[in-house]
Structure 1
Amino acid sequence: MKKTWLLGFGFFSISIGWSLYNGFVPFFLNNYLTSTALIGFLMTIDNYFALFIQPYIGNRSDRTNTRYGRRMPYLMIGIPIAALFYALIPFHVSLMTLILFMVCMNLSMAIFRSPTIALMPDITPESKRTKANGVINFMGGCGAILAFSAGSLLYNVDESLPFLAVSAIFLVALWVIFKNINEKRDAIPNHIVTTNQTFDYKRELNSATVFLLAAIFFWFIAIQGMEALFTLYGVNKLGLSQSASAFSLAFFSLSFVVSSIPSGILGAKYGEKKMILIGITGLVFVFFLLSFVESVFSLRAILLVGGMFWACININAYPFIVSTGNAHSYGTRTGLYYFVSSLAAIISPPTLGLLIDFFGFGILFYAAAGSMIFALACLLRVNTAENSVSAHKLNG
């Protein structure tokens, strides 16, 4: 568990980076653009690169063998480059330079994201993965809270300060992981693979995996769209200031943090799928309620509840997708997980932004609830494939 907490610093840096990016970059874009749909598109253009790079890097890291291990080299390359371009974002001088810094930052993030997360199943027995995922997501949630709370305070002082702070956190996280996790020493022995192993997509993408990936896609459609457009929703629908709107989202993240470790413990006891079903059902009702909110107090109270249900989903989803494969494909399955989430990130904000352009900001949470219902339908179909998953594991 000590190694898991230390690995959590990597997820901490990723989470604080994405949360602050989603919270404040739309304001930079809003200085140049008036269309919400176009802002939503530009907030996701980087994901077109991540869509292809993350599965490739995840698969590549499964077959990498260096004296630093198979995941660490990607962290050593990607994190410093990401830190550089993250720091440059608030110093853009035009729309084109802003887009350039955004794309370069996200390209470098795609290099180390999958290998960082794949380290968890590498060093953690399957029976403890939901608990371990609860820990690293607890760290990630702490990052989101800092992004929306302390980040809001720094943003009010100077727009560049939160970005410079996150850039420094990237480098500190790399140092902590590099100094404390030795893949050659800490990896579970039967998880060490050779460089000549290949990935059989037909075998790995069994029906359970396909339906689970579809469910992941739909719940990320809801969450990615909500997070990317929430700050604009708060300003335009509820009349909040930019910093107050971003700070409100911290309540969602705070609840997620508090619920992360308990969700992992409950997932280990009752099963990942059952906890995910509870989370999806709860978020459907939360999103419907948010559509009727008019006061800041009610908004933040409901977001607190929503964070608990999101923890039920997010903490158990990654161990669930990994469990449908075998020990030789963790990096690749991590890449597939982020492939699906990146695809949702590409589609969701511009689509929801377009709906907002036509129907107003009131449509945002109705659309999010509808997407969650699709996720529920897909997850229920995973039942029909559980036998094939067991058979696959026996053959793997």
Structure 2
Amino acid sequence: MASATRAGSRSAGTGRITFYVALAVFAQESTWNFYDNRVPELLRDHVASAAVIGLLMGMDNLLGIFVQPYMGNRSDNTRTAWGRRIPYLAVMMPVGAALFLLIPQATSLGRLIPVIFLYALVMNSFKPVSESLMPDFIEPARRSRANAVVKIASALTTVVAALVSLLLVDDHPRLAFAVPAGLMLVAAAVLVWRVRDSRSPAYQAALAEDEASAGGAPVNGASAGGAPVNGASVGGASVGGAQADGTSVGGASGVTGARDTDGRVRLRTVVADLVFAPDRSRLLLIVAVFVFGGAWFASRSLMTPYGVEVLGLSDGEAGGLTLPSGIVFILAAFPAALLAERFGRLRVMAAGIAVFGAGAILGAVVQTPAVTVVALCLATVGAAGFVVNAVVVLWNLAPSSRVLGAYTGLYTVGWASGGFAGPALVGLAVDVTGWRPMLLHIAVLAFVAVLPVVRADRLRRASAPGEGGVR
């Protein structure tokens, strides 16, 4: 009976923190989606060049590559009575909302560009902080289903942005910006009121590692989720070198205990450990994120011209090709998490990439609008298997609770860099071959992404016999 009560309490706690993280992501992504919808039109009032508008709209992704790992690492090293994440969210989310409200007030290009730059800088700064709350609180074995809920919340923001555009933009263009900003202010208030990440298992484990490092005691690498090793449990979080899902960290412990004289784990130390550690599975995973991110973004950003050039659709009709697959992603996200818990995350990720590639091949072979929509839906089912689980595997392979925020940022580096490179690479291939084989080019890129995932899976099973991938 006591065991059942504790299990119910853990489940309720997991549900609560999942809701709070999903709320934070929903609020911030609502502003991002509306930003992507409206800011290009605001820029067109001042700039005639589509290339310049595209460059300005891509600025936020470029900032994210540099800012997010830094801010994730900075929050990892923060120690306050409220924890290491909430202090940043309490300040930055209201500032981001205020800057968002200023965007429609900027009536000249000289004012608009600084406002959108500051908005992108602030939003990128707290994105890895809010997302890192999840691995701080939730044990590794349950992170996929929690991340699925967060991804669903993020996907729903496209609906919110569309509704705000339909209901408010034409008659009240400035008021329309207040709705997403208000959502972010509400989310910030709820997080500050209800969440104290100083109580999270990962934060308690980080404090224990701090104390052990300061005292010269050897620490073999606290688990990212806190599975006890040698019985060393600290405040509900454990200090040791195995994941709570049974997958050992193996050689990925070089960063543990490697704090500078001021007590901080530097980002350069985290990156050096990732690149040079004997266990290559984490680096392989980021390579896979980069390559698959390229395939995914290419399938999204180039689909409208493909629909016009190959399928003979109008701009509006071609722009709607991806809408059904967006709904499919929402439906597929949670099953992808459950399958990962059953069969292993790396295996589900590899299978997901294969399904994505198969969908792209189907669209390349039968080039009609109906089959293209079906192909995109099939590809999106596969993408859910990868997207829901990739960052979870990276969290679970992190060598220490002290670097979870940095790993969230490094995941973003891989994903955003793929978003830059993938459409450009596929676009270059289209320049050479024409539009008709575009989906085939995307399939080839996707199948390349399978290779590092399969290799990482083999490395994990070799280092932890009997485990079917990172569970």
Interval containing the TM-score (normalised by the shorter chain): 0.7 to 0.9
The more displaced of 261-270 and 17-26 is 17-26
1:6 corresponds to? 20
1:335 corresponds to? 409
1:60 corresponds to? 74
The more displaced of 276-285 and 44-53 is 44-53
Q: What whole-Å deviation, never above 9, does each CA across 1:216-266 have from its counterpart, x for those lacking one? A: 001111223443454565677654455x66555342222111122221111
CA contact (8 A) 1:39 1:350 kept: no
The more displaced of 12-21 and 258-267 is 12-21
Summarize the Cα distance change of 1:80–1:358 in structure 2 as closer, same or farther, 3 Å threshold. Answer: farther
- Among 363, 385, 388, which residue is 2:459 paired with? 385
Summarize the Cα distance change of 1:191–1:20 in structure 2 as closer, same or farther, 3 Å threshold. Answer: farther
Q: What whole-Å deviation, never above 9, does each CA across 1:40-99 have from its counterpart, x for those lacking one? A: 443322222222211111111111012321011221232223223334445554556554
TM-score by length of 1: 0.83
The more displaced of 261-270 and 281-290 is 281-290
- Among 366, 375, 394, which residue is 2:449 paired with? 375
SS in 2 for 1:343: helix
AA in 1 matched with 2:70:
Y
The more displaced of 200-209 and 381-390 is 381-390
Structure 1 Cα separation of the partners of residues 34 and 434 of structure 2? 25
AA in 2 matched with 1:317:
A
2:163 corresponds to? 150
The alignment status of 1:50 with 2:124, answered yes or no, reads no
Write the mapping of 1:1-396 to structure 2, written as runs, cut at 5 A: 1-23=15-37, 25-26=39-40, 32-33=47-48, 40-89=54-103, 93=107, 97-147=111-161, 149-151=162-164, 153-154=166-167, 157=170, 163-188=177-202, 190-193=204-207, 194=210, 196-198=263-265, 200-201=269-270, 202-205=272-275, 206=277, 207-230=280-303, 239-240=313-314, 242=316, 248-291=321-364, 293-295=367-369, 297-326=370-399, 327-350=401-424, 365-386=439-460
SS in 2 for 1:69: coil
CA contact (8 A) 1:125 1:188 kept: no
Structure with the bigger percentage of helix: 1
Summarize the Cα distance change of 1:245–1:173 in structure 2 as closer, same or farther, 3 Å threshold. Answer: farther
Summarize the Cα distance change of 1:145–1:356 in structure 2 as closer, same or farther, 3 Å threshold. Answer: farther
User: Which has more radius of gyration?
Assistant: 2
SS in 2 for 1:198: coil
Q: CA deviation at 1:134?
A: 1.5
The more displaced of 382-391 and 218-227 is 382-391
CA contact (8 A) 2:274 2:283 kept: no
CA contact (8 A) 2:43 2:53 kept: yes
Give identity over the alignment, percent: 25
Structure 2 Cα separation of the partners of residues 50 and 99 of structure 1? 17
| Structure 1 vs Structure 2 CA RMSD | 3.3
* Residue correspondences, number: 387
Structure 2 Cα separation of the partners of residues 353 and 162 of structure 1? 35
Q: CA deviation at 1:163?
A: 4.1
CA contact (8 A) 1:44 1:345 kept: no
CA contact (8 A) 2:83 2:203 kept: no
AA in 1 matched with 2:336:
S
Structure 1 Cα separation of the partners of residues 419 and 43 of structure 2? 17
The more displaced of 233-242 and 256-265 is 233-242
Gaps in structure 2 of 5+ consecutive residues? 1-14, 211-261, 466-471
SS in 1 for 2:132: helix
The more displaced of 360-369 and 131-140 is 360-369
AA in 2 matched with 1:249:
T
Q: CA deviation at 1:285?
A: 2.4
TM-score by length of 2: 0.71
Q: CA deviation at 1:293?
A: 4.4
Q: What whole-Å deviation, never above 9, does each CA across 1:367-391 have from its counterpart, x for those lacking one? A: 4333212211222221353268659
CA contact (8 A) 1:44 1:349 kept: no
